[in-house]
Amino acid sequence: MTKPGGQSIHEVNRLSWNAATAAHNSHKHDQAGFLRQGGSTLFPEEIDLLGEVSGRRLLHLQCNAGQDTLSLASRGATVTGIDISDEAIRFARQLSTESGIPATFDRTDLYDWLEAPPDGDARFDIVFCSYGAICWLSDLERWARGVAGMLIPGGRFVTLEFHPASMMYNERLELEYSYFGNGVPQKWEDGVDDYVAASEDCLTPSGYQDGIAAFSNPHPVHEFQWHLGAILSALLNAGMHIAQFHEYPFSNGARLFENMRKEPGGRWFPPSDFPAIPLMYGIVAEKPAPG
């Protein structure tokens, strides 16, 4: 998708993520040592949805800086992570080397990779994405077809994501935005923010450090609001069937709103006087096997 002036929206987002990723990792203490000693950045919910990964080939879409990808590799998966951010993939490769956990990382636009992977015959047992991935997709149907194309028959797609209903609220938990964004890009001039710093110690299991202070992103960003019906329909239209669907009244790690309350396990809930709303959802979609 191209914005006025001819520059790809994906390219604009890449620049914003490059800047933000450096800020995010500046707050995480000795990640290589943490992973090397058996640490994991995965939450129980995605572990439950993924099921057994040992011995499986796993494709991690929008893998960011590779912490979750390497945590999955530590559980016995053979992993490939892809992300559009140069800074994220540079860091992921370095983290793989320094932690001693093998993984393959490719810097690429997701759509380009799904339609022409480096190994044209590559197929995976599991395709995975999580936490703020789907809001960057400019074409949901094209994405779902690409995911299905990467799976072996009987393989599964797994996501644990922030609920689109939560995106109806501004940072003060006030209703402001439509649930039915229909994939129309929303531009944020302040770019990808430093949500790691805002989430205190919930996104830094290796230990929090001050890092870059008062981060200001010089690059704007565009997000795409997709409602659940559109997401589920895209997966179904791509020939998959929905094996599991879950909703959760909390967010893992990320402090989505200013006045959230923190609970054990890195979970964030709305204030106690606010009605419970869905903040995350999980999907397991399977590609049918022949016969």
CATH of the domain at 244: 3.40.50.150
Contact 72, 35 (CB under 8 A): no
Residue matched to tokens 């939560």: 166
The CB-side HSE value for 245 (13 A sphere, CA atoms) comes to: 9
Tell me, yes or no, whether 291 lies in a domain.
Answer: no
Indicate if the pLDDT at residue 254 is higher than 50.
yes
Tell me, yes or no, whether 2 lies in a domain.
Answer: no
Indicate if the pLDDT at residue 123 is higher than 90.
yes
Tell me, yes or no, whether 26 lies in a domain.
Answer: yes
**Number of domains, the chain:** 1
Residue 73 to residue 96: CA distance in whole angstroms: 10
The pLDDT tens digits for 79-99 are 999 999 999 999 999 999 999
Contact 13, 110 (CB under 8 A): no
What mean pLDDT do residues 5-16 have? 84
What mean pLDDT do residues 252-269 have? 96
Indicate if the pLDDT at residue 187 is higher than 80.
yes
Indicate if the pLDDT at residue 5 is higher than 50.
no
Q: Which domain holds residue 50?
A: 9-286
Rg for the chain (alpha carbons), in Å? 18
Residue 277 to residue 248: CA distance in whole angstroms: 8
What mean pLDDT do residues 266-275 have? 95
Indicate if the pLDDT at residue 6 is higher than 60.
no
Tell me, yes or no, whether 195 lies in a domain.
Answer: yes
Handedness of CA 166, 213, 88, 137 (dihedral sign): positive
Tell me, yes or no, whether 187 lies in a domain.
Answer: yes
Confidence of residue 119 (pLDDT cuts 50, 70, 90): confident
Contact 221, 20 (CB under 8 A): no
**Percent of the chain residues topping a pLDDT of 90:** 93
Region of poorest pLDDT, from 6-15, 127-136, 221-230: 6-15
Confidence of residue 121 (pLDDT cuts 50, 70, 90): confident
Tell me, yes or no, whether 72 lies in a domain.
Answer: yes
Indicate if the pLDDT at residue 7 is higher than 80.
no
The pLDDT tens digits for 58-68 are 999 999 999 99
**Nearest-5° Cα angle at 235, 184 to 41:** 85
pLDDT of residue 3: 52
The more confident residue out of 291 and 53 is: 53
Residue 62 to residue 92: CA distance in whole angstroms: 12
Tell me, yes or no, whether 4 lies in a domain.
Answer: no
Indicate if the pLDDT at residue 1 is higher than 90.
no
pLDDT of residue 290: 83
Burial 14-53 (b: 16+ CB within 10 A, else e): bbbbbbbbbbbbbbbeebbebbeeebbbbbebbeebbeeb
